[in-house]
C-alpha cells in the first residue's frame, strides 16, 4: 500500500500516465474538458475528474488501470455517458477511462452470427453493420443510436424489445476485461455453453465495479421475416393496463409492449411528430414479429384483446417508414420531456405486470401531494415503469420535492413486490435504495464477490452499494455490518 | 452593449438535458471522441461558466471555436435545444470578453477586413489565383506554421485556379423570358459575388426562364453571416443593418440567395437586429433559390443532359434551414440527370464559413473524408448549394471532378439543344 497522500499519488499519476497512452489522449490540464466529464446522462450528480484518458486499445486501458492499482487511484470506465443512474460519475479525485475512441467493429461473422466489437461502438452501429447479412443485435435501449456496447455490458441494458428477446446478458457471449489489478481476462466464450462458474454473468450488469470491458463478443440474430406494429389508444390508463394483461393472458409474446400516458404522448409528439393521438389518455405500442403466418394470426388476436379492453382507435404501421416513426417517438421520450419542463427526473422501477393499472393511480396521488407533474412511459410487457418527474430546477423547494417524489415512487414499487430498477442500474442515484430491497446479508454477499475482483476498491467506488458517506445516517437505510464495526471488513 | 456579450441565457442552456443524442451527429466529436468537443459538452461548458465553476480561458475558447456550426446536432436533438443561438451567443461573449493571443487576433482581423467587402476581396482573389498558377502556394505552405501565413496558405489552397467568370451587371432588372409570374431580387453577397459569378448568372437565367423578373441591385455588401457565425456580432449587425437599409424599399416578391450559409442568417435578422421591423420584414421575404423554385414549381423546358451528379447537402441548407428534398427534386427534374448521395451525407465537409481558415486541421480531416466519400460515387459533377462547400470539396477532390451549384446545372439544361 502506498503511503503518500492521495494528492501526491494523483500528481505522480499525472506525471506517468501520458507515456502509457501513446495512441490515445490524456486530458490533464484542460479544466473545461475535465469538467465536461463530470456527469453522465443524469446531470444532477457531478464530480470533476483529475484526469480523463481516451484510450485506443486494451493495452492502453491495461496500462492505465495498472498504474491506478499501483498508486491506489480510483477510476471509472465510461462509454458514451448516456447512463441514467449516475453510474459514470467519476469518483472523487479519480480518473475517467473513456472507451469513446475505441469504436471499431473487429469482425462480423455472419455464419456463426457473432460480432466482435470494441466497447465504444454505439449499439445501433452493430445492427447497421450486421444488416447486409440480414442480421441484427437485439437489445435496443432507447438511446441505442448513442449508447456504447461497453456501457450496455456494464449496465446490462434493456430496451423495448427485451420482453421477447431478453437483456444484454442474453446476447453477450464473451467479454475481454481489464480487472482492477491490471490483468486482462476473457470471460465466457464463443460457444453458448461454457463449463465452470459463469463469471461473464457476474460481470455483465456490475456497473463498472468489477473492471473495464475492452472487447465484446455479441450474438447476432436473424431479422424476423415479418413485423407488424400497432398503436392502440385508450380512454384511461386502467383500460390500457388491462389490455396489457389481456394480451399476455391470450398467450401472445409480443416483441414489445410499450405504454405512454397523455403527458408522455404530448412530449413525444412535440419532439418527433410520430402521429400519436393527442386526445388519448394512454396509448400502447405493440409489435409482433416472426414468420408471416404467425405474425398475421397473432396480430388478429392482439387486436381482439385491445378491442375487448375498450381501445378507441388502432393505427397499424403501413410500412417500415411508419414503424420507424412510431418507434422514434417512443425512443425520444426521455429527452422530449425537456419540452414539458425545464428539468425532470427519469425514474426506473419494476412492478408485477398485474399491478400496472393500480400503480399509476398511486403515482398520480403521490404527484398531487407533491404538487408536481409526472409523465409515464414504460415497457409495459415486463412491468418496467419510467415515470418522468417534471420540475423547475430554479426552485430549490421544487427540486427537493421532485427527488423525494422519485424516491417514493421507486420505494412504492418495492412495496408492491417489484424492484428499484428495471434497466437503468443502481449507480449513484439508487445506492441508498438498495437497502430497501436487500438486507445486510444480501449486500454482504454481493460485496464479497466485488472484493474478489477488486480488492483495493478502486473500480467505480461509491456506486451500487450503499455507503455511509452517500446515505448518511438516514434511518433504516444503512447500518454498519458487525465485521465493519470490528474493523475486519470495509465497505467501499 | 453588443448582442449576446453576456453569454447565452441560462434558460436556453437548461433546455439541454445532457442526453447525448447529439454525439453521433457531431463531426468534431466523431473525430476527437472528446466530450468537450460535442454539442452537449459545449453547452455544459456554457452551463459551468454560468455557474462560475470554470473560467473563460484559452481551453474554453478552443472548444467553442472548434464547433463547425453545422447544426447537425439540432436535427438530432429530441429536446429542441436552440444550439444555433447558444453557439452564436457564446462566441459573441468570447469576442467581447476574451483577449485572444495576438496571432489569432491578427488572423481574424485580416479575414474580416477583407472577406465581407467584395471591392477588397476581388483584387486579392485575382492576385491569389494568379499566384496559385505561378506556384506560390507551395512556398506559402512551406512557411506556414500557424498565424497569418498559415491562414494565407489555407485561403490560397481554397481559391479556384481561375477566378470564376464575369459577374452579371448590377443595378439592372433582368426581365422574365417566359410568361411573367412575379418579380424577385437577387442577393449577391460577398465571397460568392467575387468567386461565383457563374452561379449568379445561372440563377438569373433560370429565374427568368421560369417567368420571373430578376432585380440585381448594386451596392449590396456582405449579409453578415460569416461574421455572425464567428461571434463578430457587432460587425454582423452593422452589415445586416446596411443591407436592410439598402434593399428594404425595393418592391420584390422574394429575395433570392444562392448561398446556404447566407440564407440561414438572412432569414433570422431579428437575432442581429432585435426590434427592427424592416429587418424582420426583409427576413420574411428571403428564400433560398432551391426553396423558391421548388415552391413555385418548374415550368420551363429542361432538356436532357446525361450526367451523374453527386449531391452534397450543405449543412446550412439541410440542418439550419431544413431544405433537404428541394435540391434533389430540382436536380431530378433535369432529364437524364442521375442524382446520388455520398455515404454519411449529413456530415459537414469542413468548410463552415471561416472555419477552414481558422481551424485548418479539423477542416482538412473532414474535407478529405468528404472528398473520399464523393469520389466513391464516380460522379461527373459534385453539386452543392453553398459557395464555401464548393471551394472546400474542390480543394480535396481530384481536379478532374467538376463542381457546380445545382442552379448552374438547371441553367445548363435550359441551354442544352434538344437531342
Least confident of A90-99, A197-206, B125-134, B344-353: B125-134
Do B36 and A30 lie within an 8 Å CB cutoff? yes
The sheet with strand A95-98 has its strands ordered as: A25-27, A51-54, A95-98, A75-78
First CA to last CA distance, chain B: 62
Backbone angles phi, psi at B392, to 5 degrees: -65, -45
Give the strand pairing for B381-383 and B307-311.
parallel
Which pLDDT score is estimated for B141? 56
Instruction: Kindly report which listed range (A238-242, A449-453, B97-101, B385-389) carries the lowest average pLDDT score.
Output: A238-242
Which residue, A222, A246, A270, sits at the end of a domain? Answer: A222
Burial category of A335 from C-beta neighbours within 10 Å (exposed 0-12, middle 13-18, buried 19 and up)? buried
Domain of residue A312, residue span = 226-334
Claim to verify: residue A130 and residue A159 sit in the same structural domain: yes
Which domain-ending residue is among A49, A82, A98?
A: A98
Query: Are B84 and B315 in contact, with CB atoms under 8 Å apart?
Result: no
- In this prediction, residue A319 carries a pLDDT of 93
Q: Which of A32, A336, A344 lies nearest to residue B36, judging by beta carbons?
A: A32
Measured distance CA(B340)–CA(B327) in Å, rounded: 12
Please give the domain boundaries of chain B with CATH numbers for all domains. Answer: 10-97 (1.10.1060.10), 102-158 (no CATH), 301-415 (3.40.50)
Residues of chain B contacting A39 with CB distance shorter than 8 Å? 18, 44
Domain boundary among A98, A126, A159: A98
Q: What is the ipTM of this complex?
A: 0.90
**Are A318 and A409 part of one and the same domain?**
no
Per-residue confidence (pLDDT) for residue A460, from 0 to 100: 98
Angle at B13 between CA B8 and CA B18, to 5 degrees: 150
CB-CB under 8 Å, A272 with B54: no
A1 domain-assigned: no
Which residues does chain B have within 8 Å of residue A339's beta carbon, measured at their own beta carbons?
Answer: 79-80
Same domain, A125 and A185: yes
Asked if the Cβ–Cβ distance from A335 to B34 is below 8 Å, we say no
Co-location of A261 and A206 in the same domain:
no
- Asked if residue A218 and residue A112 are part of one domain, the reply reads yes
Tell me the CATH number at A375.
3.30.70.2740
Distance (Å) from the alpha carbon of A290 to chain B's nearest alpha carbon: 30
Task: Mutate one of A36, A102, A273, A391 to test the B interface: name it (highest B CB count within 10 A).
Answer: A36
Does A338 contact B78 at a Cβ distance shorter than 8 Å?
yes
Shortest Cα distance from B129 to chain A (angstroms)? 39
Q: Which residue has the cell 434493456?
A: A158
Backbone angles phi, psi at A111, to 5 degrees: -75, -50
The count of structural domains within chain A is 5
Q: Do B20 and A146 touch (CB under 8 A)?
A: yes
A54 touching B, CB under 8 A? yes
Q: Which residues of chain A have pLDDT under 50?
A: 473-478
Task: Report, as an integer, the average pLDDT of B249-260.
Answer: 95
Q: Where are the alpha helices (DSSP H) in A20-108?
A: 31-36, 58-71
Does any CB of chain B come closer than 8 Å to the CB of residue A342?
Answer: yes
pLDDT for res A391: 92
Tell me, yes or no, whether A305 and A379 share the same domain. Answer: no
Q: What is the least distance, in Å, from the CA of B63 to any CA of chain A?
A: 8
Cβ atoms A85, A430 nearer than 8 A: yes
- A92 and A55 within one domain: yes
A121 and A211 inside one domain: yes
Q: The domain spanning residue A144 has which CATH number?
A: 3.30.465.10
Whether residues A158 and A78 fall in one domain: no
Run of H or E including A237: helix A237-249
- The answer to whether residue A308 sits within a structural domain is yes
Q: Is B295 exposed, middle or buried (0-12, 13-18, 19+ CB in 10 A)?
A: exposed
Query: Is B24's CB within 8 Å of A33's CB?
Result: no
Yes or no: say if A149 and A123 are a contact pair by the CB < 8 Å rule: yes
Query: Is there a single domain that holds both residue A407 and residue A392?
Result: yes
DSSP string, A123-188: HHHHHHHHGGGTEE-----TTTTT-BHHHHHHHT---TTHHHH--GGGTEEEEEEE-TTS-EEEEE
Question: Based on the domain organization, do A300 and A379 belong to the same domain?
Answer: no
Q: Would you call A36 an interface residue with chain B, using a CB distance cutoff of 8 Å?
A: yes
The answer to the question of residue A420 being in a domain is no
What value does the mean pLDDT take over residues B356-369?
A: 94
Query: A138-147, A422-431, B108-117, B146-155: lowest mean pLDDT where?
Result: B146-155
**A111 and A205 assigned to the same domain:** yes
Which residue's C-alpha cell is 441560462? Answer: B10
Amino acid at each position: 500500500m502506498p503511503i503518500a497522500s492521495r494528492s501526491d499519488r494523483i500528481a505522480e499519476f499525472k506525471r506517468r500516465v501520458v507515456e502509457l497512452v501513446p495512441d490515445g489522449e490524456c486530458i490533464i490540464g484542460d479544466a473545461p474538458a475535465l469538467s465536461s466529464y463530470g456527469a453522465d446522462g443524469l446531470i444532477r450528480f457531478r464530480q470533476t475528474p483529475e484526469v480523463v484518458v481516451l484510450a485506443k486499445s486494451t493495452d492502453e486501458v491495461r496500462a492505465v488501470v495498472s498504474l491506478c492499482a499501483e498508486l491506489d487511484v480510483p477510476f471509472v470506465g465510461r462509454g458514451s455517458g448516456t447512463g441514467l443512474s449516475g453510474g459514470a460519475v467519476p469518483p472523487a479525485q479519480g480518473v475517467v477511462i473513456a472507451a469513446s475512441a475505441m469504436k471499431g467493429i473487429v469482425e462480423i461473422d455472419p455464419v456463426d452470427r457473432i460480432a466482435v466489437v470494441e466497447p465504444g461502438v454505439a449499439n445501433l452501429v452493430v445492427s447497421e453493420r450486421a444488416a447486409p447479412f440480414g442480421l441484427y443485435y437485439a437489445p435496443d435501449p432507447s438511446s441505442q443510436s448513442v449508447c456504447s456496447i461497453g456501457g450496455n455490458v456494464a449496465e446490462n441494458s434493456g430496451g423495448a424489445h427485451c420482453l421477447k428477446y431478453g437483456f444484454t446478458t442474453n446476447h453477450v457471449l464473451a467479454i475481454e476485461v481489464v480487472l482492477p489489478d491490471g490483468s486482462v481476462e476473457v470471460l465466457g466464450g464463443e460457444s453458448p455453453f461454457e463449463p465452470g462458474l459463469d463469471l461473464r454473468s457476474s460481470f455483465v450488469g456490475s456497473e463498472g465495479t468489477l473492471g473495464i470491458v475492452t472487447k465484446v463478443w455479441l450474438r447476432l440474430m436473424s431479422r424476423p421475416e415479418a413485423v407488424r406494429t400497432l398503436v392502440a389508444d385508450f380512454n384511461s390508463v386502467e383500460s390500457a393496463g388491462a389490455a396489457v394483461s389481456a394480451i399476455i393472458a391470450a398467450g401472445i409474446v409480443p416483441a414489445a409492449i410499450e405504454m405512454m400516458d397523455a403527458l408522455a404522448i404530448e412530449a413525444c409528439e412535440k419532439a418527433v411528430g410520430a402521429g400519436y393521438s393527442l386526445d388519448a389518455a394512454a396509448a400502447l405500442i405493440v409489435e409482433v414479429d416472426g414468420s408471416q403466418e404467425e405474425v398475421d394470426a397473432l396480430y388478429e388476436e392482439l387486436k381482439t384483446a385491445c378491442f375487448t379492453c375498450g381501445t378507441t382507435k388502432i393505427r397499424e404501421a403501413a410500412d417500415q417508414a411508419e414503424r420507424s416513426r412510431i418507434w422514434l417517438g417512443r425512443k425520444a421520450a426521455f429527452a422530449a420531456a425537456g419540452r414539458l419542463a425545464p428539468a425532470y427526473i427519469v425514474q426506473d422501477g419494476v412492478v408485477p405486470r398485474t399491478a400496472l393499472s393500480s400503480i399509476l393511480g398511486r403515482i398520480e396521488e403521490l404527484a398531487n401531494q407533491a404538487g408536481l407533474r409526472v409523465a409515464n412511459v414504460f415497457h409495459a410487457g415486463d412491468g418496467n415503469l419510467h415515470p418522468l418527474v417534471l420540475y423547475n430546477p430554479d426552485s430549490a423547494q421544487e427540486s427537493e420535492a421532485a427527488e423525494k417524489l422519485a424516491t417514493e415512487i421507486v420505494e412504492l414499487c418495492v412495496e408492491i413486490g417489484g424492484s428499484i430498477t428495471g434497466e437503468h442500474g443502481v449507480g449513484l442515484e439508487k445506492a441508498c435504495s438498495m437497502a430497501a430491497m436487500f438486507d445486510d446479508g444480501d449486500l454482504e454477499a454481493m460485496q464479497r464477490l466485488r472484493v474478489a475482483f477488486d480488492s483495493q476498491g478502486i473500480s467505480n467506488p461509491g456506486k451500487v452499494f450503499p455507503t455511509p458517506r452517500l446515505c448518511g445516517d438516514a434511518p433504516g437505510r444503512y447500518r454498519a455490518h458487525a465485521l465493519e464495526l470490528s474493523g475486519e471488513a470495509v465497505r467501499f | 452593449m453588443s448582442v449576446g456579450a453576456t453569454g447565452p441565457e441560462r434558460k436556453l442552456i437548461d433546455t439541454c438535458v445532457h442526453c447525448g443524442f447529439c454525439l453521433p451527429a457531431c463531426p468534431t466529436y466523431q473525430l476527437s471522441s472528446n466530450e468537450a468537443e460535442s454539442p452537449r459538452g459545449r453547452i455544459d461548458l456554457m452551463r459551468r461558466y454560468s455557474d462560475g465553476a470554470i473560467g473563460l480561458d484559452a481551453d474554453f475558447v478552443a472548444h467553442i471555436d472548434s464547433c463547425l456550426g453545422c447544426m447537425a446536432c439540432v436535427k438530432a436533438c429530441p429536446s429542441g435545444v436552440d444550439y444555433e443561438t447558444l453557439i452564436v451567443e457564446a462566441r459573441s461573449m468570447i469576442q467581447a470578453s476574451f483577449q485572444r493571443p495576438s496571432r489569432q487576433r491578427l488572423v481574424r482581423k485580416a479575414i474580416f477586413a477583407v472577406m465581407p467587402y467584395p471591392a477588397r476581396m476581388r483584387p486579392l482573389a485575382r492576385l491569389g489565383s494568379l499566384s496559385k498558377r505561378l506556384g506560390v502556394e507551395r512556398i506559402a505552405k512551406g512557411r506556414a506554421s500557424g498565424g497569418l501565413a498559415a491562414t494565407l496558405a489555407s485561403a490560397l489552397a481554397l481559391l479556384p485556379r481561375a477566378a470564376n467568370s464575369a459577374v452579371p451587371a448590377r443595378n439592372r432588372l433582368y426581365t422574365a423570358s417566359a410568361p411573367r409570374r412575379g418579380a424577385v431580387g437577387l442577393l449577391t453577397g460577398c465571397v460568392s459575388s467575387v468567386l461565383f459569378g457563374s452561379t449568379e448568372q445561372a440563377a438569373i437565367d433560370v429565374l427568368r426562364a421560369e417567368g420571373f423578373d430578376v432585380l440585381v441591385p448594386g451596392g449590396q455588401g456582405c449579409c453578415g453571416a460569416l461574421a455572425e457565425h464567428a461571434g463578430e456580432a457587432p460587425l454582423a449587425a452593422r452589415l445586416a443593418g446596411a443591407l436592410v437599409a439598402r434593399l428594404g424599399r425595393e418592391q420584390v416578391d422574394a429575395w433570392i440567395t444562392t448561398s446556404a450559409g447566407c440564407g440561414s442568417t438572412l432569414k433570422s435578422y431579428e437575432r442581429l437586429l432585435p426590434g427592427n421591423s424592416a429587418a424582420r420584414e426583409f427576413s420574411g421575404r428571403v428564400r433560398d433559390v432551391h426553396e423558391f423554385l421548388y415552391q413555385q414549381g418548374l415550368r420551363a423546358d429542361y432538356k436532357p443532359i446525361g450526367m451523374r451528379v453527386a449531391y452534397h447537402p450543405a449543412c446550412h441548407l439541410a440542418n439550419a434551414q431544413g431544405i433537404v428534398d428541394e435540391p434533389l427534386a430540382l436536380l431530378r427534374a433535369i432529364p437524364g440527370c442521375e442524382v446520388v448521395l455520398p455515404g454519411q451525407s449529413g456530415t459537414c465537409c469542413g468548410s463552415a464559413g471561416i472555419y477552414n481558415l481558422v481551424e485548418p486541421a479539423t477542416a482538412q480531416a473532414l474535407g478529405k473524408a468528404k472528398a473520399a466519400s464523393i469520389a466513391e460515387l464516380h460522379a461527373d459533377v459534385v453539386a452543392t448549394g453553398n459557395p464555401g462547400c464548393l471551394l472546400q470539396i474542390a480543394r480535396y477532390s481530384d481536379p478532374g471532378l467538376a463542381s457546380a451549384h445545382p442552379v448552374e446545372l438547371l441553367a445548363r439544361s435550359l441551354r442544352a439543344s434538344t437531342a
